[in-house]
Structures are given as structure tokens and as C-alpha cells.
Amino acid sequence: MTRSALPWSHVLLALAVVAVWGTNFVVIRIGLDHLPPLTFAALRFTFALLPAVFFLKKPDVPWRNLAAYGVLIGAGQFGVLYIAISGYISPGLASLVVQTQVFFTIGLAMWIAKERIRTFQVAALALAAIGLLVIVAHTDASVTPLGLALVLVAAASWAGGNAFSKAAGQVNMLSYVVWASLFSVPPLLVLALVFEGPSAMLQGVQNADAATWAAVIWQSVGNTLFGYAAWGWLLSRHPAATITPMAMLVPVFGMGASALWLGESLPDWKLLAAGLVMSGLALNIFWPALERRLARA
């Protein structure tokens, strides 16, 4: 039975998940100190797949659905995101910009399901777009045009993955992500071999220290297995409208962790851009519920 009010233990669990997902961007930056980005991504999904795939039953969805999700999330989202964070955009800004996946998801829904865009969604997109323009106008050592473009590609790939996971229906999301990783690893390995080369891949693995391997495990176990399992557990017990808005805290943790651990500066323009993007996200999430309340009143 679902409830709108969250017990404190569930609030803390949700905060733990968004904290892991937010600080994950800093963890990526740490892992990239020794590992090439595509090699790092391949290792992340390898450890997400193994050994969990031997203990979780394959979800009842077509293989083509798992394959599409695995390629889009593996190579499209995280492969591209790792490249971006390897020197083209700061982890804090990456954690903010990638949230534009919400608007790519809306666009896909309009295209695939023929959903009509509503006025509040246009306003939300406009706020987020102005926030991105603020970032473009202040490109510096923490963000380049290429870095911004790469993260937007990652966000679009995430939205594509969302479309396939939605098409899968009500499934065990942890099992779904683990089995989809079966299709994330091969393209990442091929891309790593082509663009990074066997020598760089091997050297990266050989030079990896304890912090690097901890980053890989954090990505696989913390970000993927714990994050999806806990989030799915919360969504199974509470309305999505109660749980999903908490994901807006991901950029807060991302930018905060990047400032604390990596010394990323937070000038006024970054805070303004963050405020605009997150205002757009908030409008998109909260307006329908507010509209229903106003209608009842």
C-alpha cells in the first residue's frame, strides 16, 4: 500500500541514493586520473554485470529492448559522459547539464507517443535553455563547448534509454540494468580498442591504484546496484510523485562535492545557471500537481 508521507528511514534512504548519484561525478573524475574514459566505462559495466547476472533472473522483456537500453546507457550515456569529464567539463557542471535528459525525454514522448507539449513544459524548457546559454557564455577551464555538447549527447542517450525502460513495463529495475549491461560492455570495449588502443587500456589498468579501483567499484556497486535497487524499492512503496522530485538534489550533491573535493569554483554565473536549470526541472515536475490542486480548490 502506497503512502504520500515518507518515514524518516525512507527519506534517509532516498537521500543516500541521490548523494551516491551526485557524488558519482567526482568519483568519475578520480577514476579518470589513471584509466582512459572508455576503458573506465567498460570496467564499470563489467563489474555491474558480473557476478550479479548469475544471481538475478532475466527480466521478462525482449532481448532487443535490453540491447537498446544497454547500448544507449553504456556507450551513449556513460561512455560519452566519461569522455566529457576527462578534461572538457567539470564534474559539478556535468551533474547539472545531464539533468536536461528530462527535456529530451519529453521530446521523445512527443515524437514516439504523439504526446502534445503543454505550456508549462515550454516554460520549463525555456528556463533550462537560458541556464545552458549562461554556461555557454562563460566557457572557461571548467567547461568547453565540446564538453557541453558531449554532456548533452549523454543526456539525450539517457532519455533514449528511459524510453526503452518505460517500454519494458513493470520489471525489477535492478535485474533489468544488470542484464542490459551484457550489451553495454561489448560496444565500450570495441570503442576503447579503436580510439584508445590496447596499449593505453593495458597501461591504464596496470597504473590503477587503490583509489582508481575504488572508483570503479563505487560506479558498479554503489551507483548501479545499490542506487537502482534502493530507488526501485522506494518507488514500489510510494507514489512516483513523492520519490522522483528528490532526484533534483543530484546536481546539488554533484556541484557541492566537486567544490569540496576538487576545488571547483562556484562563481555567480554557475549558481545562476544552476538556479535556472533546476527551476525548469522543478516547474516540469511540480506544475501538474499544483494545477490539480488549484482545479480542486
39, part of any domain: yes
Mean pLDDT of 109-122: 79
Q: How large a percentage of the chain has pLDDT more than 90?
A: 53
What's the CA gap between 269 and 134, in Å, rounded? 7
Domain count, the chain: 1
Lowest-pLDDT choice from 60-69, 98-107, 274-283: 98-107
2, part of any domain: no
> Which of the two residues, 110 and 263, has the higher pLDDT score?
263
284, part of any domain: yes
**Closest alpha carbon to 77 in 156, 154, 190, 180:** 154
3-state secondary structure 192-235: HHHHCHHHHHHHHHHHCCHHHHHHHHHHHHHHHHHHHHHHHHHH
76, part of any domain: yes
3, part of any domain: no
- Asked whether 215 and 30 are in contact (CB, 8 A), the reply is yes
Indicate the average pLDDT of the chain: 89
Q: Identify the DSSP state of 77.
A: I
Mind listing the pLDDT tens digit for each residue in 173-201?
899 999 999 999 999 999 999 999 999 99
Mean pLDDT of 71-97: 94
- Asked whether 119 and 63 are in contact (CB, 8 A), the reply is no
- Asked whether 243 and 234 are in contact (CB, 8 A), the reply is yes
Query: Cell 572508455 identifies what position?
Result: 38
Mind listing the pLDDT tens digit for each residue in 204-251?
999 999 999 999 999 999 988 898 888 878 877 777 667 777 888 888
C-alpha 141 chain-centroid distance: 23
Number of helices and strands (H, E) in the chain?
Answer: 16, 0
Mind listing the pLDDT tens digit for each residue in 245-254?
788 888 899 9
1, part of any domain: no
- Domain hosting residue 215, numbered range: 8-296
| pLDDT value of position 264 | 87
What's the CA gap between 171 and 154, in Å, rounded? 24
- Of the pLDDT bands very low, low, confident and very high (cuts 50, 70, 90), residue 2 is very low
> Which of the two residues, 193 and 168, has the higher pLDDT score?
193
Whether residue 104 is predicted with pLDDT greater than 80 in this model: the reply is: yes
44, part of any domain: yes
- Binning the chain into helix, strand and coil, the percentages to the nearest 5 are 80, 0, 20
129, part of any domain: yes
- Asked whether 50 and 224 are in contact (CB, 8 A), the reply is no
What's the CA gap between 215 and 217, in Å, rounded? 5
| pLDDT value of position 295 | 79
Mind listing the pLDDT tens digit for each residue in 130-143?
988 888 887 766 78
